Amino acid sequence: MRSNHNQSNIQKKAAIMAGIALFIMTIAAFFSYGFVHSSLVVSGEAITTLTNIQSNTALFRMEIMGWMIIIIADLVVSWGFYLFFRLFHQAYALVGVCLRLLYTVILSIAVSHLITAGGIVRESMFTEEINRTAMQVMSSITAFEAIWSFGLILFGLHLITVGYVAMKTKHIPKPISILLILAGFGYALIHSLYTFIPQLENVTHLLELILMTPMFIGELGFGIWLLAKGRKLTIH
C-alpha cells in the first residue's frame, strides 16, 4: 500500500515537472524559431541572412540560448514522461523516452551548427570576404535546419508511442491520446518528406499547413492536461 502511495506521488510530481517543461519549451520555441530564426534567416539569400545576423547579433545569440533552454526542457520532459507512463506500460514508456532522448541528441548536434554560424559572423567583422562568409553562415544554418528536421522524425515516433500508451489506459482522455498520435504522425510524415523527398517540398509545405493544428496542440494539449488533471491522478 505504501509503495503504491509513493509511486502515485512520483507520478504526480512527474506530471507537474513535464507539464511545466512543455510550456517553457513552447515559449522558447516560439521565440527562437517562430520569431528570431524566421525573421533573420531568408531562404536562398545568403548575403541578406548574413547582414541580418550582423545587424542583430544579440538577438541571434538569444536564439541560440533559446535552443539551449529547449534542449534542457526536452531532457526534463523525457524523464517526466517516463516516470508518468511507466506505471501504465514500462516497456513502451522506455521506448518513448529513448526516442525523445535520441531526438534531443540530434537537436543538440543541429544547434551546434548555429553556434558555428555565430562564430563565423563574429570573425566576419575582421574580413572583407562577404560572399564567402555569407555562404559559410548559410551552410551552417542549412545544416541546422536539415539535422533538426531529421530529428523531428524521431520526435514524431516518440509522440506516437506516447499516444499509444495513453490510448491503452482509462486514466487519460481518448481525445488527448488521439491528438498525440496525430501530432506524431504529422511530424514523422512531414519531416520524412522534407528529408528524403525534397523534390516534393511544395506538397510537403501544404501538408504541413493542413496538419499544423494537431501538431501544435497535440503535445501542448497533453501538457495542459498533465498540469490540470494528471497531477491529481491516483493509480490503484
Question: Tens digits of per-residue pLDDT, 196-232?
Answer: 999 999 999 999 988 888 888 898 899 999 998 877 7
| Mean pLDDT across 1-11 | 67
Any idea which residue has 519531416 for its cell? 191
* Residue 1, pLDDT score: 47
Output the average pLDDT for the chain. Answer: 92
Span 63-107, pLDDT tens digits:
999 999 999 999 999 999 999 999 888 999 999 999 999 999 999
pLDDT for 160 beyond 70: yes
| Mean pLDDT across 175-203 | 95
pTM as predicted: 0.93
| Mean pLDDT across 117-126 | 84
Q: 141: number of CA atoms within 13 Å, CB side?
A: 27
pLDDT for 126 beyond 70: no
Do 23 and 228 form a contact (C-beta atoms < 8 A)?
no
The ranges assigned to domains in the chain are: 2-232
Report CA torsion sign: 64, 44, 144, 131. Answer: negative
Report percent pLDDT > 90 for the chain.
77
| Among the listed residues 170, 184, 139, 17, the one whose alpha carbon sits nearest the alpha carbon of residue 84 | 17
